[in-house]
Amino acid sequence: MTALLMRDLALAIRAGGGFGLGLAFFLIVTVLVPFGVGPDPALLSRIAPGILWVGALLACLLSLDRLLALDWEDGSLDLLATAPLPLEGMLSVKALSHWIVTGLPLVLAAPVLGVLLNLPGPGYLWLTVSLALGTPALSVIGTFGAALTVGLKRGGLLLSLLVLPLYVPTLIFGAEVARRGAEGLDVATPLLMLAGISAGVIALLPFASAAVLRVNLR
């Protein structure tokens, strides 16, 4: 298991900076929005938490299609499936490495990008907290989507289509925490829900992912 994790991280670093790229995409989405909606600071600061969450989500999403596809194309996935390693464990490790490569940098960078969108003062803490709690769920759900669509040509867009509705609850609670945080309101309820979703998803979804992957490999 650690071997797999280390390999995936090594691959991400070798491949011209897996770390940097997810981040860069997040940055660019946040930068594009002011170009799109215009530079009014009051407006930007109102939409900042939401846009940052949507940006983080899209950054996660974009990197999903390579989560299993590369291993599938070069045959590693077949070989891993015959290895003495439960598929559930393997997929959890995959999700973890996806999170380390994509989610974690997003969590760390979000406050910095908040500045670009004029995020109000108290928002920074809660934005970070909500992303830290929510992005693991995004990675795990994404792994499920990737397992569903592995091996389909042009699976990329189908993957987005399947995964996005699954992302909605996480997004709503995550953005709600960030928004309430930014406005100085109470965040306890959405925070609990967010944590609940993450915990549930991390505990249960890998089983579904493994079942689906097994079907896809045969």
Partner 1 sequence: MLSVSDLSIARAGLPVLQGLSFSVKDAEALILRGPNGIGKTTLLRTIAGLQPPLEGRIEGAEERVAYAAHADGIKPTLSVTENLTFWARIFGAGGIDGALAAYDLRPLAGRAAGSLSAGQKRRLGLARMLVTGRPIWAMDEPTVSLDKTAVAMFAEAVRAHLGRGGSALIATHIDLGIDAQVLDLSPFKAAPGSMDAFEGAFA
Partner 2 sequence: MSLWEYANPKKFLATSERVLPFFWVSAGLCLVVGLVWGFFFTPDDFRQGSTVKIIYLHVPSAMMAINAWVMMLLASLIWLIRRHHVSALAARAAAPVGVVMTLIALVTGAIWGQPMWGTWWAWDPRLTSFLILFLFYLGYVALWEAIENPDTAADLTSVLCLVGSVFAVLSRYAVNFWNQGLHQGATLSLDKEENISDVFYFPLLVCIAGFVLLFIALVLYRTGTEIRARRIKALRLRERAAA
With 0-12 / 13-18 / 19 or more C-beta atoms within 10 angstroms meaning exposed / middle / buried, residue 131 is buried
**If binding means CB under 8 A, how many residues of this protein chain bind partner 2?**
45
Partner touching 3 among partner 2, partner 1, its own copies, none, CB below 5 to 8 Å by kind: partner 1
* Residue number, 17 or 41, with CB nearest to partner 1: 17
User: Which among partner 1, its own copies, partner 2, none contacts residue 78 (Cβ within 5 to 8 A by kind)?
Assistant: partner 1
Asked if 205 contacts 144 with a C-beta cutoff of 8 angstroms, the reply is yes
- The residue assigned the tokens 């992912």 is 209
Nearest to 164 by CA among 93, 156, 26: 156
Residue number, 68 or 175, with CB nearest to its own copies:
175
Tokens found for residue 9: 């991280």
Give the binding site for its own copies (CB under 8 A).
Answer: 15-16, 18, 21-22, 24-25, 28-29, 31-33, 35-38, 43, 46-47, 49-51, 53-54, 57-58, 62-63, 65-66, 70, 73, 152-154, 156-158, 160-161, 164-165, 167-168, 171-172, 175, 179
Which member of 153, 165, 186, 188 binds partner 1 (CB under 8 A)?
153
When asked if residue 181 is in the footprint of partner 2 (CB under 8 A), the reply is no
Helices (H), 121-154: 123-149
Residue 10 found at the interface with partner 1 (CB under 8 A): yes
Rounded CA gap, 27 and 12, in Å?
A: 19
Cβ–Cβ < 8 Å for 188, 125: no
